[in-house]
Copies of this chain bind each other. A is one copy, B any other.
Amino acid sequence: MSGHLAVVGLGPGDARCLTAEAQAALVGADALYGYIRYLERVPERAGQSRHASDNRQEGARAAAALAAAAAGARVALVSGGDPGVFAMAAAVCEEIAAGPDEWRDLDVAIVPGVTAMLAVAARVGAPLGHDFCALSLSDNLKSWKTIERRLDAAAGAGFVLALYNPISRARPWQLGRAFERLRGQLPPETPVVFGRAVARGDEAIAVTTLDAADPGSADMATLIIVGSRETHVIARPRRAPLVYTSRSARGAA
């Protein structure tokens, strides 16, 4: 079988966020698959076919890309951020597990990228500078009870939290409930970062506190970081504040 599937992380935004390896995988592909908003970030090239799909069709999109690779094409399946973090790589593995035997013979490469939490953290300093968790607030594929249990466990044990998929039209109340839950575990002055559309034209970054965090400030393109007791803010008179988590947790519970 001569086909090939690369699952390519585009990073958070513009082409400057791409690794050289990701760039090469995009240029070398016969066929590009992906969610339409991500495909739009990839310049058109002669001789490449493009197969855009809607959001929330991860399984069908992964299966279509695998089928094209199995038919002999060099396929790049694009993913925002890193394909391994709440993105397309797991969907591809799930389809291989459930799919025809020949898909297990395919040459599949995952090309990593800068995932949203790293990009947001970089904009404000180093809030992920010590132990942290990445947690999706979407209860489409797990129960809200599981999410609450994970919020409690992570915050209670002193992890910083990066919250993916915080809110959407179909999931309007979950982020507010998550903040309430975290207020039961963490001091009101705990730093909270809202990072929206990093490295894109409509980027917006805000630093606030858990007490003041407003779920209405987030949308689908927002990644939220909630600090731990070791997360601090440095006020800077002429610049935006820096947020960082101490490398030392000597006083941690």
Contact = CB atoms under 8 A, between A and B. Distances in A.
Contacts of A93: 125-126, 129, 232, 234, 242, 244
B104 A236 contact: yes
Contact of A246 (B23, B90, B247): B90
Contact of A112 (B90, B119, B244): B119
A169 interface: no
Contact of A84 (B19, B105, B129): B129
Contacts of A86: 129-130, 247
Given A82-B122, A153-B159, 15 more contacts: A16-B21, A16-B24, A19-B19, A84-B118, A85-B129, A89-B121, A90-B246, A93-B129, A104-B236, A130-B136, A131-B136, A135-B159, A141-B248, A141-B250, A153-B154
A158 B145 CA distance: 12
Interface of A: 11, 15-21, 23-24, 58, 82-86, 89-94, 96-97, 104-105, 107-108, 110-115, 118-119, 121-123, 125-136, 141-143, 146, 149-150, 152-154, 156-159, 232, 234-239, 242, 244-250, 252-253
Nearest to A155: B153
A91 B236 CA distance: 17
A94 B233 CA distance: 10
A158 B131 CA distance: 16
A89 B249 contact: no
Main secondary structure of the interface of A (DSSP, over half): mixed
Contact of A122 (B18, B111, B136, B146): B111
8 contacts: A16-B21, A82-B122, A104-B239, A131-B133, A132-B134, A146-B253, A149-B253, A150-B158
B114 A19 contact: yes
